[in-house]
Amino acid sequence: MEVSVCTNRAILSPCGLKNIDYQVDTYIGCEHLCYYCYALEDAETDWSKEIQIQQNIVDQLSEELDTISPQKIYIGYQTDPYQPCEAEHRQTRKVLQLLLQKGFSASILTKSDLVVRDIDILSAMNAAAVSVSVAFNDDATRRLFEEHTMATEKRVEALHQLKGAGIRTAALVCPIVPYISDAIELIDMLVPCTSEIWVYGLSINDRSGENWLRVQKILNNHFPDLAAPIEQVLFSKDHPYWTELRNKLTALKNDHQLNLNIHL
C-alpha cells in the first residue's frame, strides 16, 4: 500500500449526523476495502493501491478548531480512522491528542480493534464515544466482502475493552447481506459489550453502480445459488425477507428490552 502525502485540504468539515456539527477524516481513502462501500464510488484514488495523509494535520486542524467552540467531533464518516496504516502513521491518535488538548471530544466509528490503543486519550475526554460495526458471522465470508478488516471477534473484544474502560460504546450491525449475515447471532454477541445497537441492511440502489457490480461478482463466484435471491431482496425494499427480519428483531428488542434501532 502506498501512503502519499497531500496538502491544502480542509480537515474539519460539516457533519450531517444528528447532534454532531463537524467531522474529521484522518485519511483520504480506506484500505479496509469493503466491496460494498458507498465511498469507493467517489474515491479520488484507487484505495487498493493508494491512501493519502494530510501533511501537518495537527497544525492545520488546530487553526480550524480555533474557529469553533469545543464540542464533539465525528471521526470515521468517509474513511476508517483505524485502518491498518494508522498503526504506523498515527494520524488519528495525533488528532485525538489535539482534540483533548483543546477541550473537544470525539465520536468514532471503526471496524478495527486498533481503537483500544487510544483508550488513554478517549477516557480523558468528556463523554467520548466509540461505535464499532460488524456484518459477517464467519471469517472467510467477512474476508470476501471486506478484504482487509479485522475479524468480527476482535471488534467485539475491542468493545468489551472500551466498555470496561468506561467509554460509551455502540455497535452497528451493518450491512446485513440477505441470507448471509445472521443479524440475531451478531446481536447476541454484541449485547454484553454495548447498550446501543443499530441495524442496517445493505443499501445499494443502482444496478450499474460499482459497489453493486463488485458485490455481484462476489455472489456469483462464491454464493452462486444465492446470487439471484439476494439481488431480488436488495432491490426490493418491500421484500418479505425484510419484513420477516424486521418482525424478528422487533420481537427480540421487546422481549429483552434492548436499545435496538432497526433501520431495514
**Closest separation in Å from C-beta 126 to ligand SF4:** 26
Other CB atoms closer than 10 Å to residue 44's CB: what's the count?
10
Residue 111 vs 155, nearer CB to ligand SF4 = 111
Residue 154 vs 239, nearer CB to ligand SF4 = 154
Give the binding site for ligand SF4 (CB under 6 A).
30, 32-34, 37, 39, 79-80, 111
Task: Collapse the DSSP code of 168 into the 3-class scheme (helix H, G, I; strand E, B; otherwise coil) and give the result.
Answer: strand
Residue 13 vs 62, nearer CB to ligand SF4 = 13
Query: 257 to each of 45, 97, 248, 252, 254, how far by Cα in Å?
Result: 45, 37, 14, 8, 5
Q: What is the DSSP string of 130-166?
A: EEEEE--SSHHHHHHHBTTPPPHHHHHHHHHHHHHTT
**Closest separation in Å from C-beta 80 to ligand SF4:** 4
**Closest separation in Å from C-beta 241 to ligand SF4:** 22
**Closest separation in Å from C-beta 142 to ligand SF4:** 11
**Closest separation in Å from C-beta 84 to ligand SF4:** 11
Task: Collapse the DSSP code of 69 into the 3-class scheme (helix H, G, I; strand E, B; otherwise coil) and give the result.
Answer: coil
**Closest separation in Å from C-beta 203 to ligand SF4:** 12
**Are 111 and 60 a contacting pair, CB within 8 Å?**
no
Residue 132 vs 167, nearer CB to ligand SF4 = 132
Residue 20 vs 191, nearer CB to ligand SF4 = 20
Contacts of 259 (CB under 8 A, 6+ apart): 195, 196, 197
Residue 80 vs 86, nearer CB to ligand SF4 = 80
**Are 248 and 185 a contacting pair, CB within 8 Å?**
no
Q: Which amino acid is at 101?
A: Q
